[in-house]
Amino acid sequence: MTTRTVAALAALALALSLAPAHAEDLPLSPNGVKTLAPEGAIKSTGTWNLGTRAGDFVYVAGMRGIDPKTNTLVEGDQARVRQAFLNMKLIAESEGASLRDAVRIVVYVTDMYRYRPLVNKAQEELWGKGPYPPRTIIEVDRLNQDDICEVEGTFYAPVKK
């Protein structure tokens, strides 16, 4: 095999491993928890998924500023923080919840002084005049991939009866 062939095969293997898990592929849990994998969202490639719906609530995993198009981190601190919120938004919206329907968010940053203002700015842009959700923001030692910000949101989206 030429180096070129090897590279092509590696790219193919990568593409396959990153193939989107379609929601319809994921079975309901015994008690009826729905695992979320909406189109356009980042891909979960490990022992976790993007979100769930259970009853009237939608739970989104901690989201970071990963570009769904490339599955790599967005460049630029402000843009990356904004992307983390956009990733959360897309998953929530796939179940009929807007950012305004967040019941709480928890924000993890690796530098309170440096990144909290960026979080505030991203929220101002995305929530507009609000009301904003309850927020807990803490500075932690480290995030996965040595990232700078992660946001975890819980949403309310009552099932139509």
Where along the sequence are the contacts to its own copies (CB under 8 A)? 21, 26-27, 29-33, 35, 44, 46-52, 54-57, 59-62, 96-98, 100-104, 106, 108, 110, 112, 116, 119-120, 123-124, 127, 130-144, 150, 152, 154-158
- From residue 146, give the alpha-carbon distance in Å to each of 40, 45, 64, 109: 24, 18, 11, 11
CB of 72 to its own copies, least distance (A): 19
Choose between 7 and 114: whose C-beta lies nearer to its own copies: 114
CB of 9 to its own copies, least distance (A): 23
The CA distance from 4 to 59, in Å, is 43
Angle between helices 77-93 and 112-127 (to 10 degrees): 50
CB of 2 to its own copies, least distance (A): 31
Choose between 3 and 141: whose C-beta lies nearer to its own copies: 141
Decide: 60 and 50 in contact? Cβ < 8 Å. yes
The CA distance from 8 to 14, in Å, is 10
CB of 74 to its own copies, least distance (A): 19
Choose between 5 and 113: whose C-beta lies nearer to its own copies: 113
Decide: 117 and 72 in contact? Cβ < 8 Å. no
Choose between 2 and 31: whose C-beta lies nearer to its own copies: 31
Segment holding 79, helix H or strand E: helix 77-93
